[in-house]
Structure 1
Amino acid sequence: MSQTEALALWGAITGTIGTVAGLLGLWLRFRQHGLDKPKLKCESSFGYDGPNSPKHKITVRAVGRRPVSIDSIKYFITPRNWKQRATRYWQHKFGRWLWSQEPQRKVKLSEGEKEEFRISLPDGLSITEIYKVQLIDQTGKSWPVKWLSQRRLQKVATQETIDEYSKENETRVVGATGYRVGEKFYLATTFNTKPGRTGKTCGRGFWFLDINKYREKLLDISENQSEKFLSGEVEEIL
C-alpha cells in the first residue's frame, strides 16, 4: 500500500469516527434536553376501606427534571343522551360534560416526588360515567391519567347492598347487611339488648374475597348465631 493510499484510508477512518462521535454527541444533547423537560406520570387506583368509604385516588409522579405545579384534575363525562354522546368531543370544547377538581392546597412536584389526590365527584355523578381523566398543570398543559374502562370500573369502583337480615324478640335484636364492595364482599352485623329500647348497639364487620365464604358466614349468622344471641346463650356475634 502506497503512502497516499494509507493516508486516504486513515482519513476515511478518522472521518467515520468523527461522524459517529458527532452523532453520539447530538443524541446525548437531545436526550439531555428531553430529561430537562417537565414530565408527569399519572395513574388511577380504586378501593374501599368499607361500605360507603371509597379510597379511589389518582397518583401523580414527577419523572422529569423540571418542577411542575398542579392546577386541576379534569374528568370527561359520558353524556347520557345519545345525540350528545355522538358529539361529545364538540361538547367538551364548549365546557360541557366536564367536571374539574381543584386540589385543596397548592402542589408543586420536583423530580422523584409524588402526590395522591382523592377522586372527588359531585353528588349524582357516578364514577362509571367518567371515561377519561386529565391532569392540568400551571401552564395549561394536560397530562393523561391511566383510567379503566367503564366495564372494569363497574366491578372495582362501585358498591351495592346484596343482603339484609334482621330478627328480634322482646329483649334483643340482631341484624346483618351484606355488600359487594368493589371486587370484595363485606358483611356488617349489629346486635344489642334493648331494655326499654335503650340497649347499646354493638357490631362487627367481616371482609371476604370469595362470595361462597360470604354466603357461608351469612347463613351461620342468620340460622345459628342469631338464635343463640336472641336466647341469651351468647352475648355477641362472631
Structure 2
Amino acid sequence: MEADSLTQTLAIWGAVTGSIGTIAGIANLILRLKQHKKDQPNLLCSSNFSFEHSSGTVQAKHKLTLRSVGKKPVTIDYVRYFIKPKEFWQSLFRQRSWSKSRWVYDDKPRTTMQITEGQKEDIGICMPNGLTIPEIVKVEIYDQSGKSWKVKWPSANKLAIEVYHEQLHESEEQNPERLCKVSGYIAAGKYHIYAHWNPTPKNKTLFKGKFFHLKNETEYQSKLRDILDVQQPKILACELDEVA
C-alpha cells in the first residue's frame, strides 16, 4: 500500500513539474517572439490634414507622420497612394488592378529618409496634376527592403470634409482715410473670416488684421453681415478703430 501511495505521489509530482516546465517553456517562447518582433523594423504611420491661415488665405499642410517603434532603423523608399478607379468595373475589382500596379501613384522622397527607434518624420502629401486627395482610398509606406506599412487613412466621407476648402467672400472698400478688406472661407468643415484695415487714418502702409473662427454657416453669415453692414462703414468713417 505504501509503495502504491509513493508511486502515485511521484506520478502526480511529475505531472505537476512537467506542466510547470511546459508553461515556462511557452512563456519563454512568447517572450522571445515579442523580443524578436521588437528587434525588427516597425513603423506606426498616420495621416494629418490641416490648413495654415494667413491674411485671409488658406494653404494646405497635409502630411503623413511616420514613427519608428522598432530597434532597427527604417530607410523609406517611397509612399504608395492607391487610387479609386473611375470606371465601375475597374472600381469593383480594384484590388486586382492595384496588384498589377494600376491606379497607384508612387511618391519618392527627394532625399534619403532613415528613421531610427523613437524618431518621427513627416512627409508632405503631394499629388500630381489631375489627381486629388479625395480620390485616394488607402496609403502604404515602403522601405528599401520592400516591406510595407499601412497608413491610418480616414473614410471617404471624412476625408472629403478634412481636405475641402473654398473662398466664400472677398471684398475691399476704401476712401482717402481708410481701407478695409474682408475675406471669408471654409476649410476642413469650419468657417473663417479675416478683416484687414489700417488703424491710423491716411496711413495705408501699416495694417491690422483679425481672424474670426465660426462653428457653422449660420454663425459665419451672421458675423459676415455684421462686419460688412455695421462695422466696416464705421471703420471707413473713422468712427471705429477696430473690428470686433
TM-score range, shorter chain: 0.7 to 0.9
Instruction: Indicate if the aligned counterparts of 1:165 and 1:222 stay in contact, CA closer than 8 A.
Output: no
Query: How far off its partner does 1:168 sit?
Result: 4.5
Which of 41, 45, 49 is the aligned partner of 2:44?
Answer: 41
Identify the residue that residue 106 of structure 1 maps to in structure 2.
112
Identify the residue that residue 34 of structure 2 maps to in structure 1.
31
Moved more, 226-235 or 116-125: 226-235
Alignment TM-score, normalising by the size of structure 2: 0.83
Change (3 A) 1:11 1:94: closer
Task: State the alpha-carbon separation in 1 of the partners of residues 90 and 22 from structure 2.
Answer: 57
Task: State the alpha-carbon separation in 1 of the partners of residues 145 and 219 from structure 2.
Answer: 52
Name the SS of the counterpart of 2:71 in structure 1: coil
Change (3 A) 1:175 1:40: same
Uncovered stretches (5+) of structure 2, i.e. residues with no partner: none
Query: How far off its partner does 1:58 sit?
Result: 0.9
Query: How far off its partner does 1:139 sit?
Result: 0.8
Task: State the alpha-carbon separation in 2 of the partners of residues 31 and 173 from structure 1.
Answer: 66
Identify the residue that residue 131 of structure 1 maps to in structure 2.
137
Name the SS of the counterpart of 2:140 in structure 1: strand
Moved over 6 A (4+): none
Identify the residue that residue 206 of structure 1 maps to in structure 2.
211
Task: State the alpha-carbon separation in 2 of the partners of residues 83 and 10 from structure 1.
Answer: 66
Instruction: Indicate if the aligned counterparts of 1:190 and 1:201 stay in contact, CA closer than 8 A.
Output: no
Identify the residue that residue 190 of structure 2 maps to in structure 1.
184
Uncovered stretches (5+) of structure 1, i.e. residues with no partner: none
User: RMSD across aligned C-alpha pairs, in angstroms?
Assistant: 2.7
Residues 160-196 of structure 1: CA distance to partner in whole angstroms, max 9, x if unpaired?
Answer: 1223444445765533221111132221234469x9x
Query: How far off its partner does 1:234 sit?
Result: 4.0
After superposition, residues 4-153 of structure 1 pair within 5 angstroms as 4-50=7-53, 51-153=57-159
Name the SS of the counterpart of 1:41 in structure 2: strand
Change (3 A) 1:12 1:88: closer
Instruction: Indicate if the aligned counterparts of 2:79 and 2:108 stay in contact, CA closer than 8 A.
Output: yes
Task: State the alpha-carbon separation in 2 of the partners of residues 70 and 101 from structure 1.
Answer: 11
Query: How far off its partner does 1:225 sit?
Result: 1.8
Query: How far off its partner does 1:200 sit?
Result: 4.3
Query: How far off its partner does 1:29 sit?
Result: 2.0
Change (3 A) 1:10 1:96: closer
Identity of aligned residues (%): 38
Residues 113-154 of structure 1: CA distance to partner in whole angstroms, max 9, x if unpaired?
Answer: 221112111233221111111111111111110001111012
Alignment TM-score, normalising by the size of structure 1: 0.85
